[in-house]
Amino acid sequence: DIQMTQSPASLSASLGETVTIECRASEDIYNGLAWYQQKPGKSPQLLIYNANSLHTGVPSRFSGSGSGTQYSLKINSLQSEDVASYFCQQYYDYPTFGSGTKLEIK
Amino acid sequence: QVQLQQSGAELVKPGTSVKLSCKASGYTFTSNHMNWIKQTTGQGLEWIGIINPGSGGTSYNVKFKGKATLTVDKSSSTAFMQLSSLTPEDSAVYYCARSVRGITSYVMDAWGQGASVTVSS
């Protein structure tokens, strides 16, 4: 299995700030990476696929980048509705997920 | 709009089986693969397996082979997952999630609301 190491586990930021969440794969996943947002009590929702492609309807303040084994999700101009847990998922091999980052507003 | 409506919460005894359902609407059921995912506080998100509703073909995470069985009923646009020989470690929220078309079967663009399974005597 490809292991996904996600950091930080939790994050507190102010409204309007920019935050970055990182994911490291245990081997090269050739941009086969997606990011999901899970709001409290809800199901995960797709944000980004192919490491940097924004899913339909996702605000442009979300962006993804990276290559090889290192990937990141950036959220610009943090909004209150961004309070959620964020998960990375690789799909170069059978899917595995990062352990999640819980984002709160300071 | 695309909707995946899952069956309700289950409280089941160890050693028994449970069958979860996921009824799809708002799209052509056989056009997208369907994944199943387990979520626990301790283990996070785990991919269980995937089914092609058109052919019935399946692929499983090796960890869940023998534990989970995926099937579909095309006539009712419903996917099913049966979990067998349940133990407390199977207590979790289980999601069905539709695969995106045209990218890879393993990116999921629509998720059910989740079904909680609690295994307890």
The stretch B19-41 carries a mean pLDDT of: 97
Contact (CB<8Å) B104/A94: no
Which structure tokens are listed for B44?
Answer: 């996070």
Contact (CB<8Å) B45/A44: yes
The stretch A89-105 carries a mean pLDDT of: 97
**Residues paired with residue A75 on neighbouring β-strands, in sequence order:** A19, A62
pLDDT value at position B104? 81
Measured between CB atoms, which of B45, B107, B113 is closest to A97? B45
| Chain B hits for A36, Cβ within 8 Å | 108
Q: What is the pLDDT of residues A15-71, one digit of tens each?
A: 999 999 999 999 999 999 999 999 999 999 999 999 999 999 999 999 999 999 999
Contact (CB<8Å) B107/A49: yes
Inter-chain Cβ pairs, chain A and chain B, closer than 8 A: 48
Counting every residue written for chain B, the total comes to 121
Are residues B35 and B79 in contact, defined by beta-carbon separation less than 8 angstroms? Answer: no
Q: What is the pLDDT of residues B59-68, one digit of tens each?
A: 999 999 999 9
Are residues A86 and A103 in contact, defined by beta-carbon separation less than 8 angstroms? Answer: yes
Contact (CB<8Å) A97/B95: no
Cis before residue A8, ω within 30 degrees of 0? yes
Q: Is B27 on the interface with A (CB under 8 A)?
A: no
Question: A1: pLDDT confidence band, cut at 50, 70 and 90?
Answer: very high
- Residue B21 C-alpha from the chain's centroid: 8
pLDDT value at position B103? 76
Are residues A103 and A17 in contact, defined by beta-carbon separation less than 8 angstroms? Answer: no
Whole-angstrom distance, CA of residue A68 vs CA of residue A39: 29
Contact (CB<8Å) B104/A91: yes
User: For residue A28, what are the CA distances in angstroms to A38, A51, A71, B9?
Assistant: 26, 13, 11, 39
Is pLDDT of B3 > 90? yes
Torsions phi, psi of B88, nearest 5? -55, -25
Which structure tokens are listed for B65?
Answer: 């082979």
User: For residue B30, what are the CA distances in angstroms to B25, B26, B33, B55?
Assistant: 11, 12, 7, 8
Question: B89: pLDDT confidence band, cut at 50, 70 and 90?
Answer: very high
Instruction: Give the amino acid at B9.
Output: A
Is pLDDT of B102 > 80? no
Contact (CB<8Å) B45/A87: yes
| Chain A hits for B44, Cβ within 8 Å | 87, 97-100
DSSP state of A92: S
Residue A62 sits at the vertex; the CA angle it makes with A55 and B44, to the nearest 5 degrees, is: 80
The stretch B33-50 carries a mean pLDDT of: 94
Whole-angstrom distance, CA of residue B119 vs CA of residue B121: 7
Contact (CB<8Å) A94/B100: no
| Chain B hits for A94, Cβ within 8 Å | 47, 59, 61, 106
Are residues B50 and B37 in contact, defined by beta-carbon separation less than 8 angstroms? Answer: no
pLDDT value at position B42? 80
Mean of pLDDT over chain B: 96
Is pLDDT of B107 > 80? yes
Counting every residue written for chain A, the total comes to 106
Which structure tokens are listed for A56?
Answer: 């339909």
Whole-angstrom distance, CA of residue A86 vs CA of residue A42: 12
